[in-house]
Amino acid sequence: MELQQVLQQLHITRLNEMQQTVLNRYDGTKDFILHSPTGTGKTLAFTLLIGKHTVKTEIPTTQVLVLVPTRELALQIEQVVRKVHAGMKVTCVYGGNNSKVERNKLREAPVIIIGTPGRVSYHMQRGHIGADSIHTLVLDEFDKSLEFGFHGQMVAIIEQLNNLQHRLLTSATTMAEIPVFTGIREHVVVDFSADQPSAPQLEIKKIIAPAQYKLKALFNLLCMNANKKTIIFCNHRDAVDHISLLLEERSVIHDLFHGGLEQSDRELALLKFRNNSNRILITTDLAARGLDIPEVECIIHYQLPYKEDAFIHRNGRTARMQAKGEVFVILKPEEEYPYVAADSKILELAEHYPLPEHAPFATLYITGGKKDKINKVDIVGFLLNLPNMQKDDIGLIEVKEKESFVAVKRELALSISKAATNQKIKGKKVKVGRT
């Protein structure tokens, strides 16, 4: 597909500076390393590069392997790759997905496989992935993969790729040394990690609270921020669950995101955060980078990370591309962190605030998706044919393989689900309900 067609397909007018530099600097005879902050479009950059090496073959063969640290990132990359390389078979494999379904998809070799190290290793060990035909390897968010403990699995995978010709490595930060096992030798580096135009304008504020009052301080802070889109970061899943219980008791709408949740629940939490059905997301560092999360107005560190780079990546979720954002750090009186400026403003919270308003939208599911040839236009038309529906009542729509999700005005969600259930979209009778 020509570049202009790709841009039209992705609804963008031109490549950004980093992406254009990648295309200009890429040399297919050398390995390639890209450093660029989260949210700057690395996925599109390397997706365009792998297209330079894929070829049509009479017998289907796997030519490209993309390794990523998280399931969510794998799914996001899959969406971009499918749009850029329409017509090529692309398969995504990751932990938590049905391995038998994946095995069936791998029977006829996909041209491009995107996956997490553990699941790719699983399929390789069982002969479901043909390693000999893979000539291009992408290690996306490579530093995060090492941080998540995938070193051994990546070593085992790369050792089986005997015919690699092209290695592409991406990360949000520069690395002092590239591990030998990657096999990267002579290479080109494009480094946008210190790109000043992308540097966020952040105001960091401290809230000082004894351990027994930290939850109360957090709750008051959420109420003070009222309707701002907020991510709360914790170091541990238990803390995420503990905060969620508090908000549930106060009837404050929110979602949580961590590795202990089912994949479907994690995906739905992010979807609802994107479509404004929910303004508060409580998470671990799993959501600090590499995910399709829109810009947010506030970051709250309920627990601070042990390393400064994790703090930076968390804060990168707000104030992208020179927007302004607020970062709040909740500290016990005796706590100090070298990466939190000692002269940061201390915020004094009032004793009581009104509860935050509910998010304006609610998310409905529809039991029909891409496999039923249903698209966003079909869903809009379907909803507008219901009694008293207006275009402004409909928010973001996301169509998956077997189901779809649509944001609607919260006060209309119940009546819409009742009126729409057992109606037909493209001849298929569907059920509609609240998520």
Tell which of 195, 211, 229 closes a domain: 195
**pLDDT one-digit tens code per residue, 111-165:** 999 999 999 999 999 999 999 999 999 999 888 787 777 889 999 999 999 999 9
Q: How does DSSP classify residue 213?
A: G
Q: Do residues 263 and 242 touch, judged by C-beta distance below 8 A? A: no
For residue 294, what pLDDT is reported? Answer: 67
Q: Which of 163, 195, 227 is the last residue of a domain?
A: 195
Asked if 34 and 42 touch (Cβ cutoff 8 Å), the reply is yes
* Co-location of 215 and 339 in the same domain: yes
Rounded mean pLDDT for each run of 10 residues along the chain, 435 residues in total: 81 91 94 87 94 90 94 89 92 91 94 96 95 96 80 92 95 83 92 62 87 95 93 94 95 92 88 94 80 78 89 72 74 90 90 92 95 93 93 93 95 94 92 92
Last residue of a domain, one of 177, 195, 213: 195
Percent helix, percent strand, percent coil in the chain, to nearest 5: 35, 20, 40
Q: Based on the structure, what is the number of domains in the chain?
A: 3
Considering the domain architecture, whether residues 145 and 246 belong to the same structural domain is answered as: no
Same domain, 181 and 207: no
CA distances from 292 to 64, 114, 214, 399 (A): 23, 16, 29, 15
Identify which of 308, 351, 352, 344 has the alpha carbon closest to the alpha carbon of residue 328: 344
Q: Is residue 95 part of a domain?
A: yes
We report the CATH number of the domain holding residue 170 as 3.40.50.300
48 with 144, same domain: the answer is yes
Q: How far is CA 28 from CA 17, 52, 77, 186, in A?
A: 20, 8, 22, 11
The confidence score (pLDDT) of residue 197 equals 43
**Stated pTM of the model:** 0.68
Q: Based on the domain organization, do 50 and 133 belong to the same domain?
A: yes
DSSP string, 264-333: HHHHHHHHHHHTTS-SEEEE-GGGSSSS----BSEEEESS--SSHHHHHHHHTTBSGGG-EEEEEEEE-T
pLDDT tens track for 23-39: 999 999 999 999 988 77
Report the mean per-residue pLDDT for the chain. 89
The token pair that represents 162 in the structure block? 């005997």
Kindly state whether residues 90 and 139 are assigned to the same domain: yes
Residue 389 lies in a domain: yes
In a domain, 351, yes or no: no
CATH label of the domain that carries residue 414: 3.30.70.330
Residues 169 and 284 in one domain: no
61 falls within a domain = yes
Residue 262 lies in a domain: yes
Range of the domain at 365: 361-434
Residues 184 and 205 grouped into a single domain: no
Amino acid at 311: F
- What residues contact 25, with CB distance under 8 A and at least 6 apart? 188, 190
Over residues 162-198, the pLDDT tens digits come to 999 999 999 888 877 888 889 998 999 999 887 544 4
Evaluate whether residue 48 is within a structural domain: yes
**Helical packing angle, 263-274 and 71-84, nearest 10°:** 60
Q: How many residues would you count in the chain?
A: 435
Do both 59 and 107 map to the same domain?
A: yes
Same-domain status, 104 and 75: yes
| Per-residue model confidence (pLDDT) at position 1 | 65
Whether residues 430 and 404 fall in one domain: yes
245-266 pLDDT per residue, tens: 999 999 999 999 988 888 889 8
3-class DSSP assignment, residue 379: helix
Q: Is residue 352 part of a domain?
A: no
Helix (H, G, I), strand (E, B) or coil at 352: coil
Regarding whether 184 and 44 lie in a shared domain, the answer is yes
> Does residue 342 fall inside a structural domain?
yes
